[in-house]
Structure 1
Amino acid sequence: MKQRVVWSVLGLTVMVAVAGITVAMAGRPAPQPLAFNHRLHIQNVGLSCADCHRHASSGARATIPNVAVCGDCHSEAIGESPEEAKLVTHVQEGRPIPWRQVYWLPEHVFFSHRRHTAVAGLACETCHGAVAERELPLTGPLVPLSMNACMACHATAGVSNDCIRCHR
C-alpha cells in the first residue's frame, strides 16, 4: 500500500512538471535567423504585405516568403548591413531561410487567408497587429489568435458563428 502511494505521488509530480514545462514553453519567443525589418520594407521601400506574402489574398495560407521572393530584390547587396549580407548569401546559394512561424492555429481550425483578405477585405493588421511598424523580426504573435477574437469579429461583421464554419 505504501509503495502504491509513493508511485502515485511520483507519477503526479512528473505530470505536473511536464504540464508546467509545456505551459512555459508555449509562450517562449521564436528567435528568427535574420533581423528582418518590416518597417523599412513597408514604409521606406513602399512594399505591401502581399509583395512578399504572395499567397495571402489568393490561397488558404499566407505562407512565409521563401528565399526566391527575397531574391527578387536582394540578389546583390543593396546596403552594407551584416544582416543583408547573410540574406544575400542565402539568396545566392539558393539556401532556404529557416524562418520560424509565429502565428499558429490548431489543426482542427479551417482558416482561409483568401476568404478574409480578398473576399472580406480585411487588412492584415486586423489579425496580425502592427507588423508594419516592427523594426525587429517577430518572435511571437502581436495579436493573440483566439476563438473569442474570431467570434467577436464574425459577430461584428454579421458572419455566422456556427461551429462547422471554422471547425473541421
Structure 2
Amino acid sequence: MSNRNFESDLRAQLDSLNKEKLPERDLWAGIEIALAEEAAPNQQAQKRRTNSTAPKVVAMAASFALVAVISWFSLNPSTQQMTQQDLVSALSSQHQMQKNALLVKFQDQPALTENWQKQLAELDEAAEAIKAALKHDENNMALLKMLQNVHQQQIDLIERVHSPKWRQI
C-alpha cells in the first residue's frame, strides 16, 4: 500500500465515523464524586503538613534555647563558665523535653512496629553510657557529638514509627 493510498483510505475511514458519540449513561455523577474525593485528600494532606511541622518547630525552638543558654554563659563574665557537664545536662534536658512532646503528640496514633519502645530504651542506654564516658573525659567532642547523634536517632525513631514518610504527601 502506498503512502498516498494509506492517507486517503485513512481520511475516508475517519470521515465515515459517526461524528456524535453519546455516552451510555450520565457521567456528571461520577465526575462530581471524583472531584469531591480529590478535595478531601487535599484537605487531609494540608492537615498532615501542619501536624508534621510541629516537631520541627519544637526542635528548632529547643535548639535556639540551647544556643541562647550557651551564649549567655559564655558572654556573661560575672558567672562561672559553663562546664562540659553543664552542657551535657542542658542537652539531655532539652532532648527529654523534645522527646516527651513527640510522645504526647503521637500517643493516640498507632505505632507501625511493636518493638519501637525497646529500641528507644536501647538508645537511652547508649546515651547513658556516653554520658558516663563524658564524666571521665570531659573535653571529648567526639563523645558529645555521639550523644547528640543518639538523641537525634531517638527523635527520628519516634517520628518514623508514628508518621512514616510514605504516608505524607
Specify which structure has the bigger relative contact order, considering alpha-carbon pairs within 8 angstroms and separated by 6 or more residues.
Answer: 1
When normalised by structure 1's length, the TM-score is 0.36
Higher Rg of the two aligned structures: 2
When normalised by structure 2's length, the TM-score is 0.36
